[in-house]
Structure 1
Amino acid sequence: MATILRKIAEQLLSRTMFSDLAIDRARDAAVDTIGCMIAGRGDESVAALIRAFDGEIAGGGAARLVTGGSASPSFAALINATAAHALDFDDNFHPARAHASAVLVPALLAVLTRGKATSGRRFLEAYLAGLEAQAAVGFGVNPSHYNRGWHATATVGSIGAAAGVARLFGADENGLAAAMSLATSFACGPKGQFGTTAKPLHAGIAARNAVDAARMALAGMSGRPDILERPQGFLDLFGGDDARGWDGLTFEAEHIIESRGVVTKRHPCCASTHRAIDALLDLKQEHGLLAGDIARIETKVGISAARNLAYPAPTDEMQARFSMQYCLATAFLKGSLSLSDFTRQEIGRPEIREFMPRIEMRSYSADEEKGVERLPHVVTVTMRDGRILNKSRLHAKGSLEAPMSVREREVKFIDCLRWGNRNVSGASFLQLRGLANSENLSGDDPFWSLITGHQSP
């Protein structure tokens, strides 16, 4: 009987044709992630990595860095993926419970070294392979794995991204399975680190692990092909109490990005806040709500979301991204959230601090969540005149069910450029959207000047 990793590898190799829709959505995810990389390149998490590995970076390397300069593919993946996830503005992928693109895109970019070119379409096909692998791995363990406290970006993301990198390298079934098996040995990342700089580091580590695992596999290193399902394997150790395993795993003709999509973030903060933010903004618009008229706001969210949002009174910008109270108060008072709302100065604003105590959060019970993949997040606003207003959101803005327009994507991308101290122009957005048509994508490609702000040396 074929192991799960071999079943995934066989599927990835059998999918030789991709629809225009799948390619377009992969392109959108890649462009969005590159924008997040640019915005996050000055974050303290990235600066710490640059300081830690200054000697290795000073020596140069074949792979480009979003911060400028170059390093080895491993270090490039580590730094660029940490930048992509640093501001928590990168997309979510529900089947994996992971920030899929923040791992995949930097990992794939890292192996596009100088002198090693590929086409833009092949790059996007490798992205789609890695995404499908992440979904398949996540199928067997989530949501139990995520609810147990594992950051699936660092675990499931690492394993699936290794398949994407190996696919870009042209690996056969054995190579793909070996890359994923080795990445399983690297997989780690506790959600207890949320609200610290270790959280974006998880994406960086996962991307580096993916690159290293794929390169090792192609060099002849191997692990057990049944490491997901065997005793003392991934399911056994990481699955949690309610993991279902892979007995029911099937692959549809339609790619997972067509049927489920990735969720592009509208707000630069933890996705656990997004549906509540959208619901509150809906109520504000529908009823013309004013802050002085509100007595209390209650939110009801999933158990894992409540655990993620551990900072009711944040003291820095990273904690603020994981605070339902701060995110809801700021979104309501300002009408939207942008990257500029997450600074030390902004989080201390008196009007926001005054409003935050009116916001309460509770979660569904374990019984309510049992057997249900997804429950809506509910916002209840109690007015000072006694009226009670309710709004629920099953899907956040940016999801397949509530997609962002091209213009909204461009606005986000420009916000990222501005935050990354780059020349603010829609031309970069349009040029990157032509990624699928590039015939010679490599570390020397002019598109890197869009990312780094420097010409290729």
Structure 2
Amino acid sequence: MAAVDTITGRLAAWVAGLSAGDIPERIRDVAASQLLAHLGALAAGAGHQLGGRVIEAFGPPFRGDAEQTAYVSAALTMLLDFDDTMYAGHVSHSSVGVPLAYAEPLRLDGPSLLTAVVAANETAARVTAAATLGPHRGQTAAHTHLVGAVAGRGSAEGAEARQLVDAWGIALTMPPWVLERGFFGSDAKALTAATPVRTALDAYAAAAAGMHGAPDILEHRDGFLARFAILPLPQAAGHLGDLWHTETLSIKLHPGCAYIDGAVEAAIALHHRVADSIDQIDKVVVEAPIFTVGMEAHSAAHLDGPRSGVAAITFSIPYNVATALIRGRLTAGDLSAAAIADERTWGLARRVEVREARDLSLRALLATSPVGAALRLAGEPAAAWLAALLGGDASDYAAQLVRGPESSFEDAEKAMGARLTVSMSTGEQLTAGVDIPLGFAGPDLRRRHRDLARMKFLQAAEPWMGEEAASEVCRLLEGLPSAGRDEVARLCLLLRDAFSRRRERRQGARPQPSSG
């Protein structure tokens, strides 16, 4: 069948023709680290109380039903906001979760699994970038997973391009529009990626059965970009095989929104200086980019002190900075119900102020991710967008965009920095600052992404699946670019066993019905 000359047609032709040999070694290596870090988010979610409720509602993953595994895994990796990011989007829930869910049923080997991950990354990130200058970014840009899930499954199964075009045409007809009230203020956030993953897999099945979707669903005047973008960037879907969005990966080393990481890292750096004198802290001032300040303003209304839900907590600068100052860390355990109820943490959180710093805002806005590459791609219209966001005249920002769009992402950065000033009752002021948080796209991550992914995974997985199993997962992931089918099947078995043991422990802890 002739190629379809639309955005989804070109994406589909690339996915259908992609093989492991087409992917540069550095990109395969990043994708393997992405998978390992994603399993860290999975383990953390599975070990949390809310993860237990997800499993009770929908069953444990990796028990033979690939669609159910993809759905549950997407919920578990979302619920603590421990998901990794790239330019553009929180793609891993679908781009890693779906290929991994189908790996055992399809008997994928390592190269095939990583090819499916990269295919999903590259297509989902491009469509997300095309709409990123719009009302939805981050996790609320849940349409990311309509693209990633179709591409991930299609690559894994060797689907023809026309089937992918139809599947995307069907799925993108019904894109999710996430509502702030439920996203910040309830457990519904846990299903933000799972729901579009299910929609996408339904659309894929429909296309496989011969149902057709609109091939121009993205660029048509009544299509997706017309509704979901203020400045549509259809050109973001180009340069397949030249620009590798996969290498813009940022790995979260702390649960919670990526916009809190700079402040949390600065607070951890000051922990040793204040740990014994928390009660002597008069005030904590966090200077941060506009992303962080805006997130705080939106989420704060949904907090209720020690009774707050985990969704709102993952966005709270005061709670997470206070936790980091007091405990010298921010882990999944610090988002448990017992930790959230700790009045000492809230006592300090009430003394935390968040302020925008213009220099940090410009640094974050112009870095590759989350929007800098999109601003440069948009060109002159983006200067007006920046002026509306930050104030001033568009000409003030035009010079910042003059170098034009990226020709490569090899030097990508995500500079979500922060400055922290702790004022003590003694009059002393303690300061710490961060430019690019640990694990975020930048020179340090490029040097040691596997080490950081391993650190994230082991911290979350060892309490969940045991040290021996967690170490074996790391060994399997290290060899994934050349792994055979048996090694991939072994990885899935380790995950299935971990969920089975967790479920047995939970069931054993429940009171047994009386026999009398």
TM bin (shorter chain): 0.7 to 0.9
Is 1:273 the equivalent of 2:267? no
- Equivalent position to 2:8, from 5, 10, 13: 5
Greater shift, 184-193 or 421-430, is seen at: 421-430
Higher Rg: 2
Q: Equivalent residue for 1:137?
A: 127
Q: Distance in 2 between matches of 1:343 and 1:366?
A: 35
TM-score normalised over the length of structure 1:
0.83
Amino acid at match of 1:111: Y
Matched, 1:366 2:355: no
Helix, strand or coil: the match of 2:68? helix
- Give the corresponding residue for 2:102: 111
- Shift in CA distance, 2/197, structure 1 to aligned 2, threshold 3 Å: same
In structure 2, how many angstroms separate the alpha carbons of the residues matched to 1:231 and 1:243? 14
**1:19-73 deviation digits (Å, cap 9, x = unpaired):** 11111111111122223223322545544454445xxx6xxxxxxx43x6443x3
| Counterparts in 2 of 1:150 and 1:407: CA distance versus 1, 3 Å | closer
Q: Distance in 2 between matches of 1:248 and 1:14?
A: 20
What TM-score do the two structures reach when normalised by structure 2? Answer: 0.74
Alignment match, 1:97:
89
Distance in 1 (alpha carbons) for counterparts of 2:349 and 2:418: 18
8 Å CA contact 1:297–1:360 kept in 2: the answer is yes
Decide whether aligned partners of structure 1 residues 247 and 412 sit closer, same or farther in structure 2, where only a CA change above 3 A counts.
closer
Match of 1:447 in 2: 491
**1:264 and 2:251 aligned:** yes
Q: Which of 165, 168, 182 is matched with 1:180 structurally?
A: 168
Q: Residue 338 of structure 1: which of 331, 336, 346 is its match?
A: 331
**1:300-311 alignment, distance < 5 Å:** 300-303=288-291, 304-307=294-297, 309-310=299-300, 311=302
Paired with 2:35 and 2:42, the residues of 1 have a C-alpha distance of 10
**Aligned-pair CA distance for 1:431:** 2.5
What is the DSSP-based 3-state SS (H/G/I as helix, E as strand, rest coil) of the residue aligned with 2:283? strand
Kindly state the Cα deviation for residue 212 of structure 1 after the two structures are TM-superposed: 2.4
Q: Is the 8 A contact 1:281 1:335 kept in 2?
A: yes
Can you list the C-alpha shifts for 1:164-197, whole angstroms capped at 9, x where unaligned?
2212221222122222222213421415113532
Counterpart selection for 1:37 from 23, 42, 56: 42
Does 1:23 find its partner at 2:15? Answer: no
Structure 1 residue 338: deviation in Å? 1.4
1:50-103 Cα distance to aligned partner (Å, 9 max, x none):
4445xxx6xxxxxxx43x6443x322211122122222222122x2232x1122
CA contact 1:46–1:79 (8 Å) conserved in 2: no
- Alignment partner of 2:234: what SS? coil
C-alpha distance in 2 between matches for 1:339 and 1:201 = 18
Distance of aligned partners of 1:418 and 1:170 in 2 relative to their CA distance in 1, 3 Å threshold = same
Shift of the 433–314 alpha-carbon distance from structure 1 to 2, 3 Å rule, reads farther
What's the counterpart of residue 471 of structure 2? 426
Give how far 1:145 is off.
Answer: 3.3
SS at 1:211 equivalent: helix
User: One-letter code of the match for 1:399?
Assistant: F
C-alpha RMSD of the superposition: 3.4
How many angstroms apart in 1 are the aligned matches of 2:463 and 2:133? 34
> In structure 2, how many angstroms separate the alpha carbons of the residues matched to 1:136 and 1:180?
14
Against the structure 1 CA distance between its residues 191 and 332, is the aligned structure 2 distance closer, same or farther, given a 3 Å change threshold? farther
Paired position in structure 1 for 2:454: 410
Superposed displacement of residue 322, structure 1: 2.3
1:345 CA displacement: 1.5
Contact 1:21–1:258 (Cα < 8 Å) also in 2: no
Q: For structure 1, list consecutive stretches of 5 or more residues without a partner in the other structure.
A: 58-64
* Structure 2: distance between partners of 1:30 and 1:271: 18
The farther-off stretch of 162-171 and 43-52 is 43-52
* Deviation of the 1:121 alpha carbon: 0.7
How many residues align? The count is 435
After TM superposition, the structure 1 stretch with the greater mean CA deviation from structure 2, 317-326 or 330-339, is 317-326
SS at match of 1:180: helix
| Distance (Å, rounded) in 2 between the aligned partners of 1:74 and 1:397 | 34
The match for 2:307 is 315
2:440 to 384, 388, 399: 399
Q: Contact (CA 8 Å) 2:77, 2:93: kept in 1 or not?
A: yes
Distance 1:316 1:288 in 2: 25
Native 8 Å contact 1:329 1:355 kept in 2: yes
The question of whether the paired residues in 2 share the 8 Å contact of 1:277 and 1:327 is answered with: yes
Tell me, in whole angstroms, the C-alpha distance in 2 between the residues paired with 1:455 and 1:199. 22
Task: Assess if the C-alpha contact under 8 Å between 1:25 and 1:257 holds in 2.
Answer: no
Report if the CA contact (8 A) 1:314-1:326 is conserved.
Answer: no
Question: Which shifted more, 304-313 or 218-227?
Answer: 304-313
Matched with 2:214 is 224
What SS does the aligned partner of 2:107 have? coil
Contact 1:150 1:191 in 2 (8 A): no
8 Å Cα contact 1:166/1:215 also seen in 2: no
Deviation per residue, 1:91-123 (Å, 9 max, x gap)? 122x2232x112222212233354x31221111
Alpha carbons of structure 1 residues 182 and 251: separation in structure 2 relative to 1, 3 Å:
same
Gaps of 5+ in 2: 362-387, 402-413, 501-516
Q: Comparing both structures, which one devotes a greater share of its residues to helix?
A: 2
The residue that corresponds to 2:418 in the other structure is: 378
SS of residue in 2 equivalent to 1:274: helix
Aligned residues of 2:259 and 2:416 also touching (Cα < 8 A)? no
Could you tell me which amino acid in structure 1 is paired with residue 40 of structure 2? G
